[in-house]
Amino acid sequence: MKGYRLLVACLDQPGIIAAISHVLARNGCNITSFDQYSEGPAGLFFMRAEFDMVHHSGDFDHEKLISEFDRLALEYHMQWRLTERDRAHHLAVLVSREDHCLNELLWQTERGDIHAEISVIISNHEDLRELAEHFRIPFYYIPVTPAQKAQSEEKLHQLVRDYAIDTLVLARYMQILSEDFVSQYPAQIINIHHSFLPAFVGPKPYHQAYERGVKLIGATAHYVTAELDAGPIIEQDVHRVDHRHQLDDFKRIGRQVERIVLARAVKWHVADRVLVYGNRTVVFPI
Amino acid sequence: MKGYRLLVACLDQPGIIAAISHVLARNGCNITSFDQYSEGPAGLFFMRAEFDMVHHSGDFDHEKLISEFDRLALEYHMQWRLTERDRAHHLAVLVSREDHCLNELLWQTERGDIHAEISVIISNHEDLRELAEHFRIPFYYIPVTPAQKAQSEEKLHQLVRDYAIDTLVLARYMQILSEDFVSQYPAQIINIHHSFLPAFVGPKPYHQAYERGVKLIGATAHYVTAELDAGPIIEQDVHRVDHRHQLDDFKRIGRQVERIVLARAVKWHVADRVLVYGNRTVVFPI
Amino acid sequence: MKGYRLLVACLDQPGIIAAISHVLARNGCNITSFDQYSEGPAGLFFMRAEFDMVHHSGDFDHEKLISEFDRLALEYHMQWRLTERDRAHHLAVLVSREDHCLNELLWQTERGDIHAEISVIISNHEDLRELAEHFRIPFYYIPVTPAQKAQSEEKLHQLVRDYAIDTLVLARYMQILSEDFVSQYPAQIINIHHSFLPAFVGPKPYHQAYERGVKLIGATAHYVTAELDAGPIIEQDVHRVDHRHQLDDFKRIGRQVERIVLARAVKWHVADRVLVYGNRTVVFPI
Amino acid sequence: MKGYRLLVACLDQPGIIAAISHVLARNGCNITSFDQYSEGPAGLFFMRAEFDMVHHSGDFDHEKLISEFDRLALEYHMQWRLTERDRAHHLAVLVSREDHCLNELLWQTERGDIHAEISVIISNHEDLRELAEHFRIPFYYIPVTPAQKAQSEEKLHQLVRDYAIDTLVLARYMQILSEDFVSQYPAQIINIHHSFLPAFVGPKPYHQAYERGVKLIGATAHYVTAELDAGPIIEQDVHRVDHRHQLDDFKRIGRQVERIVLARAVKWHVADRVLVYGNRTVVFPI
């Protein structure tokens, strides 16, 4: 029994759920999960459905379903995407020296809590090569210098192509990707920023948080856009601190928040549970 | 523009969302919110939809919609319920001496955060009469003694009828209602228990929690069933305590958790966001 | 048995706890609670002790204790303060139109969860007069216009003097006090800002938060200083939101966070549990 | 500069802080951290101090300090303990098949977030041998059968002696140690139970939680005593679940809570931040 995920975004209009579910029903699809969100009376409509092919399976039905959806999409001006539930989602994880976020992703993908495969690990330092090798994942060292930035990014593009990467995860990758690079992967690059954005944009957020004397520190997973730390937020969380916590404690506690927040964001992203519109996200979490 | 809420529960089966949404669409209903949950492949199907009547309105359409749903219900063996969004939901709040939960419900209903009306306040003590009167809500003092329990409950029944009560809320009402009484209001009596159930069932849960040396204390809002503190849970939350907190601190901190948890449960219940099956609840919160 | 609270701040130096506790011991004081915090090896020392006068009581001992502390303070360059535990702390609460924060403070002071007395309620609107009167607390309407700001603040000063106010609480008081006014009450004015500072400084933070698409909204209680929303933070907390929450939901959920955060900050402040240094606070909470 | 930690427990009595801090001061100890807790007027007194030897160092001072404390202990009927801050704390981690708790302890001890050394890993299964070997930690496979329980525990005792183990950590070790074994390590065996105790004592707590329909699941780290899952609680935490979470989701989410709760408990325990009295703990966390 084959499973699929259908994502739809369009302007809200009467009868749209009926139209979509009717196409699914008459093609032998049994909806197992259905999430929908409409914003305002004349607003946007977002939908995510999981369904199984119950009666038959095979390519024929698949093509018929797709062609019917194409017609529906024209009629309702829908953006839509159909993905096979069991298709492996390929991640490239970019890191610098810190291992906690990478560790969490390795651990959760390996045990299946995140349904994705880390196809390649890329770093501007050699520090985490051994960790990658222990998990038998190809590791590429791509140093980044101001002079050679374009060249480094060209190597990144090449790896994305070579490994058929779906999503790049910046797991404490302490480099800023160029606007040109970023623009080629819309909603395909996830970053973990070590603050509760939009507080403490930019470098050294824990220093900033410590200086300000905050009582909670946080982390933010977001899609990367041209503007630094300003892309659509996928997930955020915080942890309590107090006056006894020094900068090192902020970093230590923060590491726990970072890896959990990033892992959640990646888990939802690879399961097609995140839809982007403007600078916001609709997240149907589990 | 009239708004409605439709609740459906049945065995899951292919085409059910299509069938329901089709009926809604051809009767001029525009779905504004749609939540669905299916448990397992051969499992249960739960649905909650909010919709507006866009094309026309009036009694005729309403009756046609209902008759079409009656037919659908037969075909799919559905349980269903249709409620008008703007119909006032009438609450009877039962209290003893503690005012914090009642206060919260008064405050949230008055400012419209909970879309319901407290029609009557009933107590086995006189302490909270003044509070009720300040909010201009009828207050009834019904003392409860073992000898006169049946008589007291008869008065309760009478008030429920007189005020057309939809739901009874036990807001720290320190009396146990009889099995017979409870059985007449299935999923219509909400209690707040001052512990994280199933820990500390029964009387004096804060004493029990303090004795056990727990590091979190909680509260549980649940539907009342014949078995004490064992009904379907609607909402739970906790707050951190430590060794410095004495029994009085447990009670003080607990009061904050109790009133928040109870208010959430009532808010969701009166908005038809809670569905009960067996001893569990499906909650579509906001 | 009389209870006292002793607060000390100075440079850390060997023997300081011994010296202080020795003075307390030989004056018949039994320490019931002792919190201390030292920042770094050559850093600052903060201390809070609660003690009972066990052997004797009366003015004579009190004066002797004070004179011994005066000597100690000279020797160790200490700042210190001794307060009677049972002395009533007088609050002036300033509000505009929103009642949720005021309500919480009224409720918690009345039932003794916050050990303080609301001596006067001051507003630039008439809306909350009835609420104040229900609690039998003097209410003053002081309109604020740009032209008459100085005059309004003079009236505020007068009320602070008339009611022997210890602390001003801005419980959603939507006016900015002048730098001159603020400078006269260092660490004596507490404000609740409806965002997780330093995110969303200034007006309409919920609008800002909604625009940014954050996944948590927060509130911050802080001492007011000349710089807007930049004073020492006493307490912060957050609550989860998602794409389904519109601006009104942000405000509704935010109200819950605001009143809880403000009540905690006031509770700790009036119990001398907050020490300010630079732009930071040491908080010994309970 | 040598650092020490001093732990004291006794009946509360006037002058005790003065007496202790005086001994420390005149032996050249500079207190860097001081936590104290007194329970009730005629109750118990608990204290934890960290101090540096500032003036001199060396064995002579150390012995003088100890002999002075011995005298003080007699006078005040104190239980006390002095530990060197830099002495390595040796852990034996006992596991079965699940790796998440062990992984977390390995990661946090390796990077120094937990100041301890995992000296040996012991299991009743072979599954985690490879993980142990990757971290170059001795791994012992000790199968447990009802018939050979005494023999298995004898091997455990031997390893504790061989590796000079300070604390045994049961990191999802699915075996119940005998009363006799447990009695030999009071407050030296830490277990992680995968529920919010005292809810769901015993086996399969996630099944129990799922059946009961709770809205939060938790984990509890506690010292092991003769009575199952009833020892003094060190730390607890919870995570939200809802109707969409099936048993496998409970386990998945629970694993995150378990490893964080256990790591916190071990971190505090090895830093002498946990004091036990009766069935309760005083925890001075950081």
Q: What is the largest CA-CA distance in chain A?
A: 65
Question: Looking at chain D from residue 71 to 90, which residues have their Cβ under 8 Å from any Cβ of chain B?
Answer: none
Do both C66 and C106 map to the same domain?
A: no
Residue D97 contacts A where some CB pair is shorter than 8 Å: no
Predicted confidence (pLDDT) at residue D60 exceeds the cutoff of 60: no
Predicted confidence (pLDDT) at residue A57 exceeds the cutoff of 70: no
CB contact under 8 A, D233 and B213: yes
Q: Which residue of C has its CA nearest to B98?
A: C111
Q: Quick one: average pLDDT of D57-79?
A: 84
Of D246, D219, D243, the residue nearest D233 (C-alpha):
D219
More confident residue, B80 or D60: B80
CA–CA separation, C139 vs D89, rounded Å?
62
Total domains in chain B come to 2
pLDDT of A78? 94
Predicted confidence (pLDDT) at residue D56 exceeds the cutoff of 80: no
Q: Tell me phi and psi for residue D263, to 5 degrees.
A: -60, -40
D286 neighbourhood in chain A, CB within 8 Å: 244-245, 249
Q: How does DSSP classify residue D146?
A: G
In chain C, the percentage of residues whose pLDDT exceeds 90 is 81
Structure token pair of residue D273:
């931040």
CB contact under 8 A, D41 and C34: no
Q: Which residue of A has its CA nearest to B47?
A: A34
Residue B14 contacts A where some CB pair is shorter than 8 Å: yes
* Minimal CA separation from B279 to chain D, in Å: 7
pLDDT of C207? 94
3-class SS string, chain A: CCEEEEEEEEECCCCHHHHHHHHHHHCCEEEEEEEEEEECCCCEEEEEEEEEECCCCCHHHHHHHHHHHHHHHHHHCCEEEEEECCCCCEEEEEECCCCHHHHHHHHHHHCCCCCCEEEEEEECCCCCHHHHHHCCCCEEECCCCHHHHHHHHHHHHHHHHHCCCCEEEECCCCCCCCHHHHHCCCCCEEEEECCCCCCCCCCCHHHHHHHHCCCEEEEEEEECCCCCCCCCEEEEEEEECCCCCCHHHHHHHHHHHHHHHHHHHHHHHHCCCEEEECCEEEECCC
Q: Which residue of B has its CA nearest to C32?
A: B244
How many CB atoms sit inside 10 A of residue A4's CB? Answer: 19
pLDDT of D61? 74
Q: Which of A32, A57, A84 is the last residue of a domain?
A: A84
Residue D256 contacts A where some CB pair is shorter than 8 Å: yes
Q: Tell me phi and psi for residue C199, to 5 degrees.
A: -75, 140
Do both D216 and D185 map to the same domain?
A: yes
Measured at the CA of D150, the angle between CA D146 and CA D154, to 5 degrees, comes to 140
Token pair 């509360």 is found at D12
Do both C110 and C232 map to the same domain?
A: yes
Do both C106 and C202 map to the same domain?
A: yes
Residue B242 contacts D where some CB pair is shorter than 8 Å: yes
More confident residue, B106 or C13: B106
Q: Tell me phi and psi for residue B146, to 5 degrees.
A: -50, -40
Residue C218 contacts A where some CB pair is shorter than 8 Å: yes
Predicted confidence (pLDDT) at residue A61 exceeds the cutoff of 80: no
Q: Quick one: average pLDDT of A66-93?
A: 94
D30 neighbourhood in chain C, CB within 8 Å: 12, 14
* Minimal CA separation from C21 to chain A, in Å: 22
3-class SS string, chain B: CCEEEEEEEEECCCCHHHHHHHHHHHCCEEEEEEEEEEECCCCEEEEEEEEEECCCCCHHHHHHHHHHHHHHHHHHCCEEEEEECCCCCEEEEEECCCCHHHHHHHHHHHCCCCCCEEEEEEECCCCCHHHHHHCCCCEEECCCCHHHHHHHHHHHHHHHHHCCCCEEEECCCCCCCCHHHHHCCCCCEEEEECCCCCCCCCCCHHHHHHHHCCCEEEEEEEECCCCCCCCCEEEEEEEECCCCCCHHHHHHHHHHHHHHHHHHHHHHHHCCCEEEECCEEEECCC
Residue D231 contacts B where some CB pair is shorter than 8 Å: no
Token pair 């210890």 is found at C166
Residue A229 contacts C where some CB pair is shorter than 8 Å: no
pLDDT of C53? 81
Of C18, C30, C35, the CB nearest to D22: C18
- At D54, is the pLDDT very low, low, confident or very high (cuts 50, 70, 90)? low
Of B113, B252, B256, the CB nearest to C260: B256
Residue C130 contacts B where some CB pair is shorter than 8 Å: no
- At C187, is the pLDDT very low, low, confident or very high (cuts 50, 70, 90)? very high
Contact partners for chain B, using 3 or more CB pairs closer than 8 A, are: A, C, D
CB contact under 8 A, C252 and B113: yes
Do both B130 and B196 map to the same domain?
A: yes
pLDDT in tens, B96-144: 999 999 999 999 999 999 999 999 999 999 999 999 999 999 999 999 9
Predicted confidence (pLDDT) at residue D41 exceeds the cutoff of 70: no
CB contact under 8 A, A17 and B36: no
pLDDT of C54? 66
D256 neighbourhood in chain A, CB within 8 Å: 260
Residue D35 contacts A where some CB pair is shorter than 8 Å: no
Q: Quick one: average pLDDT of D109-136?
A: 96
CB pairs under 8 A between C and D: 67
**C166 Cβ contact list (under 8 Å, min separation 6):** C89, C90, C91, C188, C270
A256 neighbourhood in chain D, CB within 8 Å: 260
Do both B80 and B94 map to the same domain?
A: no
Q: Checking DSSP bridges between strand C79-84 and strand C139-141, what pairing results, if any?
A: unpaired
* Minimal CA separation from A180 to chain D, in Å: 37
CB contact under 8 A, C41 and D21: no
Is the peptide bond preceding residue A198 cis, with omega within 30 degrees of 0?
Answer: yes
Q: Tell me phi and psi for residue B229, to 5 degrees.
A: 60, 25
pLDDT of C61? 74
Structure token pair of residue A269:
């992203």
Of B1, B266, B274, the residue nearest B115 (C-alpha):
B266
Predicted confidence (pLDDT) at residue A56 exceeds the cutoff of 60: no
CB contact under 8 A, C280 and A237: no
CB burial readout B119-149, b (16+ within 10 A) else e? bbbbbbeeebeebbeeeebebbebebeeeee
Structure token pair of residue A65:
């379903």
Q: Which of B32, B67, B84 is the last residue of a domain?
A: B84
> What dihedral angle (degrees, nearest 10) is formed by the CA atoms of C145, C146, C151, C153?
90
pLDDT in tens, B229-268: 999 999 999 999 999 999 999 999 999 999 999 999 999 9
In chain D, the percentage of residues whose pLDDT exceeds 90 is 81
pLDDT of A39? 81
Cα B120 versus chain centre, distance: 16
Known catalytic residues of C are 229
Q: For residue D108, give the 3-state DSSP assignment.
A: helix
CB contact under 8 A, D280 and B235: no
CB contact under 8 A, B41 and A32: yes
pLDDT of B286? 85
Predicted confidence (pLDDT) at residue C190 exceeds the cutoff of 60: yes
Residue A32 contacts B where some CB pair is shorter than 8 Å: yes
Residue C239 contacts B where some CB pair is shorter than 8 Å: no
Do both A153 and A125 map to the same domain?
A: yes
CB burial readout C272-281, b (16+ within 10 A) else e? bbbbbeebbb
> What dihedral angle (degrees, nearest 10) is formed by the CA atoms of D244, D246, D252, D253?
40
Identify the residue among D11, D12, D21, D51 best suited for mutation to test binding to C, counting C beta carbons within 10 A and taking the highest. D21
Do both C33 and C116 map to the same domain?
A: no
Cα A142 versus chain centre, distance: 23
Do both D56 and D121 map to the same domain?
A: no
Of C212, C235, C243, the CB nearest to A198: C212
pLDDT of D32? 86
Of B31, B38, B41, the CB nearest to A17: B31
What single letter denotes the amino acid at residue B146? P
Alpha-carbon torsion (C193, C194, C200, C204), positive or negative: negative
pLDDT in tens, A111-120: 999 999 999 9
Do both D102 and D42 map to the same domain?
A: no
Structure token pair of residue C165:
């106010």
B249 neighbourhood in chain C, CB within 8 Å: 286
pLDDT of C76? 93
How many CB atoms sit inside 10 A of residue C26's CB? Answer: 14
C-beta separation of D115 from D271 below 8 A: yes
**Least reliable range by pLDDT among D28-37, D91-100, D268-277:** D28-37
Q: What is the CATH number of the domain that holds B32?
A: 3.30.70.260
Do both C102 and C76 map to the same domain?
A: no
Q: For residue D69, give the 3-state DSSP assignment.
A: helix
Q: What is the largest CA-CA distance in chain D?
A: 65
> What dihedral angle (degrees, nearest 10) is formed by the CA atoms of C126, C127, C132, C138?
-10
More confident residue, C270 or D58: C270
Q: Quick one: average pLDDT of A166-173?
A: 98
pLDDT in tens, A151-163: 999 999 999 999 9
Of B238, B173, B160, B149, the residue nearest B199 (C-alpha):
B238
Of C100, C113, C249, the CB nearest to B252: C113
pLDDT of A52? 87
**D148 Cβ contact list (under 8 Å, min separation 6):** none
CB contact under 8 A, D245 and A286: yes
Known catalytic residues of D are 229
CA–CA separation, D153 vs D133, rounded Å?
23
Known catalytic residues of A are 229
C-beta separation of D45 from D10 below 8 A: yes
| ipTM of the prediction | 0.94
Q: What is the CATH number of the domain that holds C279?
A: 3.40.50.170
Predicted confidence (pLDDT) at residue A253 exceeds the cutoff of 60: yes
Contact partners for chain D, using 3 or more CB pairs closer than 8 A, are: A, B, C
Q: Tell me phi and psi for residue B281, to 5 degrees.
A: -125, 145
pLDDT of B137? 98
* Minimal CA separation from A59 to chain C, in Å: 36
Do both D105 and D189 map to the same domain?
A: yes
Residue D14 contacts C where some CB pair is shorter than 8 Å: yes
Residue C103 contacts D where some CB pair is shorter than 8 Å: no
Predicted confidence (pLDDT) at residue A266 exceeds the cutoff of 90: yes
Per the structure, the complete domain to which residue D99 belongs is given by 90-283
Contact partners for chain C, using 3 or more CB pairs closer than 8 A, are: A, B, D
Q: Which of B53, B84, B115 is the last residue of a domain?
A: B84
Q: Checking DSSP bridges between strand D167-170 and strand D90-95, what pairing results, if any?
A: parallel
CB contact under 8 A, D256 and A256: no
CB contact under 8 A, A216 and C196: yes
**B220 Cβ contact list (under 8 Å, min separation 6):** B192, B193, B195, B196, B197, B229, B233, B235, B236, B261
3-class SS string, chain C: CCEEEEEEEEECCCCHHHHHHHHHHHCCEEEEEEEEEEECCCCEEEEEEEEEECCCCCHHHHHHHHHHHHHHHHHHCCEEEEEECCCCCEEEEEECCCCHHHHHHHHHHHCCCCCCEEEEEEECCCCCHHHHHHCCCCEEECCCCHHHHHHHHHHHHHHHHHCCCCEEEECCCCCCCCHHHHHCCCCCEEEEECCCCCCCCCCCHHHHHHHHCCCEEEEEEEECCCCCCCCCEEEEEEEECCCCCCHHHHHHHHHHHHHHHHHHHHHHHHCCCEEEECCEEEECCC
Indicate the helix (H) or strand (E) that contains D152: helix D149-162
- At A269, is the pLDDT very low, low, confident or very high (cuts 50, 70, 90)? very high
